[in-house]
Structure 1
Amino acid sequence: MDMVVRWPEGGVVTVDWVMGLGNVLDYASRNLQPSQLPDVIPVSVADSLILAASKLMHREPNCVEVTVEASSRVVLVGDVHGQLHDVLNLVQLAGPPSSNCIFVFNGDYVDRGAWGFETYIYLLAWKVLLPHRVFLLRGNHETKFCTSTYGFEQEVIAKYKEYGKHMYRKLLGCFEGHPLAARVANCVFMAHGGLFRQIEVESSQKKGKFGKGYRSKKTLKLGTLEDLAKARRGVLDPSGTGSNVIPGDVLWSDPSLNNGLSPNQLRGIGLLFGPDCTQEFLEKHKLKLIVRSHEGPDARDKRSGMEDMDKGYTIDHVVKAGKLITLFSAPDYPQFQATEERYNNKGAYIVLEAPDFSKPQFFEFDAIKPRPKVSPYYDFVNVIDSDEELELGSGSDDASACSNN
């Protein structure tokens, strides 16, 4: 059987082409050396796929509106972190994307797992096939900082050798195009880290090129969907300051059990937001559910009082207006770790169906085992943990009650 993937004539991607791509990627991960991947996924094919998907996503707004018909269902997916075989399994379990099955993926497609490139282009193929039925939101690992630290850059270079740096640059450009969030069926908000602050534009004593400067308000206030719509997302590493502060929050923030909005000191970027913030955001935008991701079992292990991520999801806030859920879709995570004791967590995905799309149905699943043997692409023993302070951001040390007044 010919295993070489060829770009379809006229660039018209079909279901058979996407399914065939998935089969080739699975085969290659089990039977070929990583450096042999270009033998079955040529550079020209990867380039064409990345470009087609990038063009689609760059045209999408910061917060995509996912319109859902009564006959359709929606599958929500959290972090997958280069665990190709678990992603292939998840798509099979949930039923593949189609005209009546919408998928919204919540970022962190790469890093830590050994098949980030394969996972990412597989999901890009679904995006190109069904651009209004498949939505790929951005995670904090779709950044230059994380991918140069947690293995993805090294993975791409190892697999594509002399074309590796070229391919990595193409992928970084694609990362910049991912939308930051989605509003599903007018009742569910989905974003990788969660909520974000309001920023103000003010005249600066040292005026820049356009005569205005940005700063975070000293007293943090919760941002709105209108603020999110105006944020500048096309940057590789959104920071905790300036015009990139909202994307930085969206990608890096975490929920807290305590009320208020405060800097996320553990990560060094983003915010901690309490149940009162969840209530305010839901009430203001007439929503019933917030779904975020960003925290696997290793992250939750460091957060006293927060529920463990052993079943692939947690319900972190229950307030009058609705709920905040953390969803994590990478089972038996991380693939590589320094200790012999594993978390053995399940992954999960959420299905939303009529008549009430705000009522989540949770589906747990186990990791595909055994995983093909492969070496890691980063020093998982000595590298800094992604859940510890990164010294990327700055902000006020004072927690603020959520308010938009």
Structure 2
Amino acid sequence: MDANPPPQIPLSWPPEDALTLDWIHSLTTTLEWASWKLPPSGLPSVLPVPVLLRLLLTASNILHKEPNCLRVDPQGEETSVVVVGDVHGQLHDVLFLLKDAGFPSDKRFFVFNGDYVDRGAWGVETFLILLAWKVFLPERVYLLRGNHESKYCTSVYGFEKEVMEKYGEQGKQVYRKFLRCFEGLPLASIIAGNVYTAHGGVFRGAALTPSKRSKRKKGRKPIAVADSNSLRLGSLEELLKARRTVLDPPWEGSNLIPGDVLWSDPSLNPGLSPNNERGIGLLWGPDCTEEFLKKNKFKLIIRSHEGPDARDKRQDLKGMHEGYTIDHVVESGRLITLFSAPDYPQFQATEDRYNNQGAYIVLSPPDYSTPTFHSFDAVKPRPKVNPYYDFEEVIDSDEELDLKAMESSTSVEDLTPI
């Protein structure tokens, strides 16, 4: 990395909110330089809080207006769509991916499948760069939500502490604005009418029953709960009606579907069943993949959510060594798991590493349903930095969750205003 600092620091917000390619380039080079040359607490000297908050607010206003399930409709014989899985704050690998795939443009759409933060040391920088692209090309860059874009996960897996160490006394305000932005991230996308993408995967349709009258406040509608004895696949209409702004459990009523979309995993066993390993979401079999594809006339499902650490515990499915796996092959199409963070996790409790590759997918015309896989190695060396969570204690893959703690705060509105 060049030892000379970027020429335009500290960064200032562009006049009239007009983000340009030059501004995004300045943001990117500045944040990359800072990751090598400055301590975490030095980040405000190059990216002041007012500029950061302005970017978060501008992007959040765009995201909150988008539907739960986006329609991504590329046009033209030369237009491609790049799909990206979990990146987990691995800034330098994300920068390599963007360069390797080709930056977003009128002819190159991007769909990011969530988990931008946590575990890796540069969640702030990674997410902000992607937000800048979203603001610059809102109809070419799509950012979906992952399960780590939540209050609970960011408090356990490092992002909250990362924000506090980088922005000090203003950290609480900055963190709260990040959470508000997370609330706006859509849950899923449909690409060219043929490809469904979501972080975890499919979801149930809730069998709705009213809550007990004694627990209902006057003038408030009954809360709907799911009947666990009659699990069925949900519809796109139900997905569109879900309340995605909730950050954490309880998953019930219209809040139930986001939990499934963000936390569910595929299985080789048929049917739908509770995802007991994670404590949230579903497990679904190849028969459910076929039903979902056929019902919606899709040809492909691309989901993420499982890295090499998760797959290391699952002998029924393939490992994540190349950054992707093909989990279900059925009559109507395929189910793919895509993971874009190589050499993951950045901090590991044992000397042995997974040394996995990351991957991204390119979808091309005419029907965008035939994926081309691009695996890549981690950028090394990485800058030396301390972890923001106790990775020796929190080594499981989002499993054995403290559901009571998650239910204690379900929305950013519950946080103390700054």
Q: TM-score range by the shorter chain?
A: over 0.9
Counterpart residue number, 2:401: 390
1:355 CA displacement: 1.8
Counterpart residue number, 2:12: 6
Alignment of 1:296-307 (within 5 A): 296-307=307-318
2:386 to 335, 359, 375: 375
Secondary structure in 2 matching 1:44: helix
Counterpart residue number, 1:48: 54
Aligned partners of 1:4 and 1:330: how far apart in 2?
A: 29
1:98 to 102, 105, 116: 105
Counterpart residue number, 2:119: 112
How many residues are aligned here? 393
Counterpart residue number, 2:224: 214
1:238 CA displacement: 4.1
Aligned partners of 1:362 and 1:384: how far apart in 2?
A: 29
Matching of residue 268 in structure 1 with residue 275 in structure 2: no
Q: Deviations over 1:129-159 (max 9, x none)?
A: 0000000000000000000000000000000
Aligned 8 A contact 2:71 2:189 in 1:
yes
- AA aligned opposite 1:260: G
Aligned 8 A contact 1:312 1:331 in 2:
yes
1:212 CA displacement: 2.1
1:390 CA displacement: 1.4
1:204 CA displacement: 3.4
Counterpart residue number, 1:247: 258
Secondary structure in 2 matching 1:350: strand
2:302 to 282, 291, 299: 291
Matching of residue 152 in structure 1 with residue 159 in structure 2: yes
Aligned partners of 2:212 and 2:160: how far apart in 1?
A: 40
Counterpart residue number, 2:413: none
Aligned partners of 2:343 and 2:187: how far apart in 1?
A: 26
TM-score, length-normalised on structure 2?
A: 0.92
- AA aligned opposite 1:129: F
2:371 to 348, 360, 381: 360
Aligned partners of 2:137 and 2:187: how far apart in 1?
A: 19
Q: Deviations over 1:247-302 (max 9, x none)?
A: 00000000001110000000000000100110000000000000000000000001
Aligned 8 A contact 2:144 2:185 in 1:
yes
Aligned 8 A contact 1:265 1:389 in 2:
no
Aligned 8 A contact 1:193 1:249 in 2:
yes
Secondary structure in 2 matching 1:213: coil
Counterpart residue number, 2:325: 314
1:83 to 66, 70, 90: 90
- AA aligned opposite 2:224: Y
- AA aligned opposite 1:275: P
Alignment of 1:175-194 (within 5 A): 175-194=182-201
Secondary structure in 2 matching 1:317: strand
Aligned partners of 1:58 and 1:262: how far apart in 2?
A: 31
- AA aligned opposite 2:137: L
Aligned partners of 2:372 and 2:55: how far apart in 1?
A: 33
Matching of residue 200 in structure 1 with residue 210 in structure 2: no
Counterpart residue number, 2:38: 32
Aligned partners of 2:397 and 2:176: how far apart in 1?
A: 22
Could you list the runs of 5+ residues in structure 2 that have no partner in the other structure?
Answer: 1-6, 405-418
Query: Which stretch of the first structure deviates more once superposed, 363-372 or 201-210?
Result: 201-210
1:336 to 336, 347, 350: 347
Matching of residue 224 in structure 1 with residue 235 in structure 2: yes
Counterpart residue number, 2:409: none
1:219 CA displacement: 1.2
Alignment of 1:130-149 (within 5 A): 130-149=137-156
RMSD: 1.2
Counterpart residue number, 1:259: 270
Secondary structure in 2 matching 1:200: coil
- AA aligned opposite 2:179: L
